Amino acid sequence: MSLLRHQLELLAPAKTADIGREAVLHGADAVYIGGPSFGARASADNPVSDIAGLVEFAHRYGSRIFVTLNTILHDAELEPARKLVRELYDAGVDALIVQDMGLLELDLPPIALHASTQCDIRTVEKAKFLGEVGFSQLVLARELTLNEIAAIRAAVNPAVPLEFFIHGALCVAFSGQCYISHAHTGRSANRGDCSQACRLPYTLEDSKGRVVAFDKHLLSVKDNDQSANLRALVDAGVQSFKIEGRYKDMRYVKNITAHYRQLLDGILEERPELAAASHGKSAFSFQPDPDKSFNRSSTDYFVQGRKEDIGAFDAPSHEGERLGTVTKVSTDWFELESAAPLANSDGLSWLYKRRLQGVQADTVKQIGNVWRVTPNQKISELPGLVVGVEISRNRDHAWEQALLKKSAERRIALDLHFSETPEGFALRVVDESGAEASAQLACDKQPAQHPEKSEASLREHLAKLGATIFSAREISVDWQQPWFLPASQLNALRREAIEALEAARLQALGRPPRFAASEPPAQYPDESLSYLANVYNDAARRFYSKHGVKLIEAAYEAHEEDGEVSLMITKHCLRFSFNLCPKQAKGVTGVQGQVRAEPMTLINGKEKLTLRFDCKPCEMHVMGKMKSHILKSPPPVSVPLTFHAKRPA
């Protein structure tokens, strides 16, 4: 079944099925992973057979598996996509995360559909509509505030859970509303192939050509971290807490999943009316620390309102945790004053002329209060490494090595009730979710030779659950007198009961439902759609027409937009970042008139992008045109057409 109103779900990413298994072991209630095609991370695909194995593993713990099928689809891709959905359904997948509304017009199996963040869900009207047309879960826009989330929760069908990103990289644009990559390279972000123009350095000029910022990563923002806001998000109505990172490695997923598992478990202990969406407790052999995984520094973005320091302008890379200051530099080594322990092969970093520099520590040696570091490069080759510079560690070698090993164990609490029957003995097992099973042992009863030890021995054998996913919470014994049971028979009884319990758990888990669309069809909030709606196939056009839309423009990838348009719409505002917003300048003599002037321009080499500012919704539009050779090329399609024009003989 779908999430119940009292359940909280920790949703972790997986680049591969093996990473997905580790996410489950480290506490994920659900995992999202890419299938073999049509996912919005083109290099994170997986065969259906691997996903089926992950499903089987996750379901043992009551965890769910969601597959991303969240690109926009060309007409030629609809039938292959439909066939893929059938394969995923047969593999036991619990839900699909989708963007293209054309999928709702296809003959799909009754698999649950989640509306991807690519659907750009940032208004009450949009969320309410999607909750009425067949979606079982809504992935909200990252830019929403707590009040906006609460307003959506109040308006949307309460049976439809809200999902929100709580950690990881942030797309600076509203998801699904960025076309710079396709305009400049032909690689479409909406089709899983973003070239990440937002991470490039730019120079910002005002309308008179004056430089506001030179050679900075002006469209790059810090990474999302909602650790401090989880309780507020729960109160606002979020049930599914999503970690970004389908390109991330095993260590990242282990660390960040474990970090949020601990935080959510703390909330569950405080609020007994809430419960985790899956079963079992994870124990870790390391201390989770998000600062040790790759990040561009952190921000809680707009959850608590607009802030000035969301940009990662200096370097879109991982500076790491601050260690201390360089106190001495020699020809072969340097000394660093730091209270934190260092290790050979640590990665160290520092800023020099707005660029992040780095080196690996070949060897380290503690001398009093300082560490002497011999790097794996010559000191003369390390720009900016001078006395007084702040050093950070962006790779903790010892900590990372620990994460390469087994680092978590997840167990489901189990009560075992052993009793005597007329024919022999019985064992009933009940897990923490209430699932239960039993097994019978028919045998001749023989009095125990050492009655004072027999019950303790019995309990010891029943508690041997190490090869299972369970741990004994309570063991009760109900017999008329102590009996002798051979260890082989007792172990067989326990195994039979556990196997029956696992079967009962899977049966109780069931399959989340595909929500039925309301009748008559819900009306879309607008009667016209521009290229921003990403309509790329006839099925999507039928969908919107059925829901009252009269004018439907083609997606940007259809190559019908030949003029300057918004290539990115973002809540990130560069005028605000550099204190040039008219609202900031209100009342400041001689400034307000200057900052009203627009457009401003972003420059990267020969590329120029015009910035326009829509102050009412507080949004920035990055304007530009599609390159002519891309405009003249065929619209992108990833599968061959099923028909071909007949060629003349």
Write out pLDDT tens, residues 605-646.
999 999 999 999 999 999 999 999 999 999 999 865 443 333
pLDDT (mean) for 31-44: 87
Statement: residue 66 has pLDDT above 80: yes
E-assigned strands of 280-342? Answer: 281-284, 298-299, 321-329, 334-338
pLDDT (mean) for 22-26: 98
Position 303 scores a pLDDT of 98
The Cα–Cα gap between 467 and 475 comes to 18
Long-range contacts made by residues 440-445, C-beta under 8 angstroms, separation at least 24?
441/485, 441/489, 441/492, 441/493, 443/485, 443/489, 445/420, 445/483
- Local confidence band at 308 (pLDDT 50, 70, 90 cut-offs): confident
Angle (deg, nearest 10), helices 48-59 and 78-90: 40
3-state secondary structure of 467: coil
Q: Give the DSSP per-residue string, 190-209.
A: GGT----GGGS-EEEE-TTS
- Whose CA is closest to 434, among 508, 512, 511? 508
Residue 154, CA distances (Å) to 5, 42, 157, 235, 239 in order: 13, 36, 8, 12, 14
The residue type found at 10 is L
pLDDT (mean) for 154-164: 97
- Local confidence band at 649 (pLDDT 50, 70, 90 cut-offs): very low
Q: Where are the alpha helices (DSSP H) in 197-241?
A: 230-236
- Local confidence band at 593 (pLDDT 50, 70, 90 cut-offs): very low
User: What is the enclosing helix (H) or strand (E) of 514?
Assistant: none
In degrees, rounded to 5, the angle at the alpha carbon of residue 2 between the alpha carbons of residues 45 and 66 is 5
- Local confidence band at 170 (pLDDT 50, 70, 90 cut-offs): very high
Statement: residue 401 has pLDDT above 80: yes
3-state secondary structure of 167: strand
- Tokens in use for 84? 């893929």
Q: Residue 252 carries which DSSP code?
A: H
Position 315 scores a pLDDT of 76
CB 476 within 8 A of CB 509: no
Residue 508: CA count within 13 A, CB half-sphere: 18
Q: What is the pLDDT of residues 402-461, one digit of tens each?
A: 999 999 999 999 999 999 999 999 999 999 999 999 999 999 999 999 988 999 999 999
Show the 3-state SS of 61-90.
CCCEEEEEECCCCCHHHHHHHHHHHHHHHH
3-state secondary structure of 307: coil
Q: What is the pLDDT of residues 81-97, one digit of tens each?
A: 999 999 999 999 999 99
pLDDT over 90, % of the chain = 89
- Local confidence band at 2 (pLDDT 50, 70, 90 cut-offs): confident
Chain CA centroid to CA 284, Å: 21
Q: Residue 449 carries which DSSP code?
A: S
Position 316 scores a pLDDT of 77
Statement: residue 1 has pLDDT above 70: no
Tell me the CA end-to-end span of the chain in Å, nearest whole number. 58
Buried b (16+ CB within 10 A) or exposed e, 70-81: bbbbbeebbebb
Statement: residue 592 has pLDDT above 50: no
Statement: residue 187 has pLDDT above 50: yes
Q: What is the pLDDT of residues 489-548, one digit of tens each?
A: 999 999 999 999 999 999 999 998 899 999 999 999 999 999 999 999 999 999 999 999
588 Cβ partners below 8 Å, 6+ apart? none
Position 587 scores a pLDDT of 53
The structure tokens 């599609």 sit at 626
Buried b (16+ CB within 10 A) or exposed e, 518-530: eeeebebebeebb
Statement: residue 103 has pLDDT above 60: yes
pLDDT (mean) for 278-296: 95
10 Å Cβ neighbour count for 285?
Answer: 11
Q: Give the DSSP per-residue string, 578-639.
A: TT--HHHHTT-TTTHHHHH---EEEEETTEEEEEEEETTTTEEEEEE---HHHHTSPPP-SS
Q: What is the pLDDT of residues 223-280, one digit of tens each?
A: 999 999 999 999 999 999 999 999 999 999 999 999 999 999 999 999 999 999 999 9
The mean of the pLDDT values for the chain is 94
CB 354 within 8 A of CB 216: yes
- Whose CA is closest to 219, among 149, 146, 312? 312
pLDDT over 70, % of the chain = 96
Residue 621, CA distances (Å) to 18, 102, 174, 210 in order: 40, 28, 11, 20
Residue of higher predicted confidence among 340 and 586: 340
CB 203 within 8 A of CB 217: no
- Local confidence band at 582 (pLDDT 50, 70, 90 cut-offs): confident
The residue type found at 123 is T
